[in-house]
Amino acid sequence: MVRFGVVGCGGIGTEHIKRIMNTLSGGTIVALNDINEEHAQSLIKEMGLNAKFYADGHELVHADDVDAVLVTCWGPAHKEYVLDAVKLGKYVFCEKPLATTADDCLEIVDAEMKQGKHLVQVGFMRRFDAGYVALKQAIDNGEIGAPLMLHAAHRNPVVDDRYSTDMAINDTMIHEIDVLHWLLDDEYVSAQVVYPRKTKYAADHLADPQIVMVETKKGVRIDVEIFVNCKYGYDIKCEVVGEDGIAYLPEPATVQVRKEAALRRPILMDWKERFVKAYDTEIQAFINNINNGTKLTGPSSWDGYAAALTADVCVKAQQKPGEILPITLKECPEFYK
């Protein structure tokens, strides 16, 4: 049984606590920490958790009965807790981003390599989504021949006023940054950003929508539309154009209704529903690997670094619209291959 300590019990932290306690097997929650003590205490009470509240997150990480740490607090605080756990040789499941800068991610990578064991899984859940897995299989089986182009869209119905232009990359497109190079088994070499006409629904300080174009080492051209005030739903699209055909990310299975001269199909409204199974599968895989003593199979701290570095370049490209900027990753250590 993996005994989890959780740092950060907000939106996704609460979701993960619920899935570990109610849906998944082989894990339990023994400790909680949040800067908002009242909220964490109320969660313990509401869910009837047999868990201790720690006012200090580091104390939680060090607790003897905590085998693995679930880091689900705000991004800027991820690094300190991940590093702390890794240095103790403890497992960590960290929500994206692993850390907010590429250098901080590398510090985690170094600490993990020093332990000589894979301890970190990053919450890039799309690699566990059945649709993306099927799409990858189609590409890997050679069904569409060599991929040449990829068109993707990441649309959120609405964002709040705290959402800034760089978050379109760091918070939203970061999922495409991770999943698309995994899908194509390729690496990014350059990025460029252009801005279409702005929607009237975006706050004054926010550029929305945006189009990010990246090129890969093998020459695949990728365009990603990020549109976070699209109004109509939460919609994730991916189309891979190959030499012999085109493969699409499957639509989520929602019921079609033919009625009153119309064919209707609901569209989901948020990421929690859209990827609920992927979140379950990624954390179940993490738990199973720990319980079986097998190597972690999910996105690694190196993947966290690759995503952070690529995101940094994309954010710079946002500031120089139209300019193509190089993406230069460090050589991937054998440990992560």
Residues of this chain that bind ligand ISE (CB under 6 A): 156, 171-172, 175, 271
Cite the DSSP H helix spans in the chain.
11-18, 37-47, 57-62, 78-87, 102-115, 130-140, 167, 174-184, 271-274, 276-292, 301-319
Identify residue 193 by its one-letter amino acid code: V
Asked if 11 interacts with ligand NAD (CB under 6 A), we say: yes
* Least distance to ligand ISE, CB of residue 40, Å: 20
123 binds, among ligand NAD, ligand ISE, none (CB under 5 to 8 A by kind): ligand NAD
Residue 72 interacts with ligand NAD (CB under 6 A)? yes
Query: How near is the Cβ of 270 to ligand ISE at its closest, in Å?
Result: 8
Could you tell me which of 243, 213, 223 has the C-alpha nearest to residue 139? 243
Tell whether the torsion through CA atoms of 265, 271, 275 and 277 is positive or negative.
negative
Output 156 or 210, the one with its CB closest to ligand ISE: 156
Minimum Å distance from CB 172 to ligand ISE? 4
Q: What CA–CA distances, in Å, run from 252 to 62, 129, 276, 335?
A: 41, 10, 11, 36
Site string for ligand NAD, 140-179 (x = CB under 6 A): -------------------------------x--------
Pair of tokens at residue 323 = 């300019």
Tell which positions 249-278 bind ligand NAD, by CB under 6 A.
Answer: 271
Q: Does 13 bind ligand NAD (CB under 6 A)?
A: yes
Tell how strand 68-71 and strand 210-216 pair up.
unpaired
Maximum distance among all Cα pairs of the chain, rounded to whole angstroms: 65
Q: Counting contacts by CB under 6 A, is residue 42 touching ligand NAD? A: no
DSSP-derived secondary structure for 14-39: HHHHHIIIII-SSEEEEEEE-S-HHH
Sequence-ordered alpha helix ranges (H) in 124-275: 130-140, 167, 174-184, 271-274
Asked if 4 interacts with ligand NAD (CB under 6 A), we say no
Closer residue to ligand NAD in complex, CB, 26/75: 75
Nearer of residues 216 and 281 to ligand NAD, judged by Cβ? 281
User: Contact positions toward ligand NAD, by CB under 6 A?
Assistant: 7-13, 33-36, 39, 57, 72-75, 77, 95-96, 123, 125, 171, 271
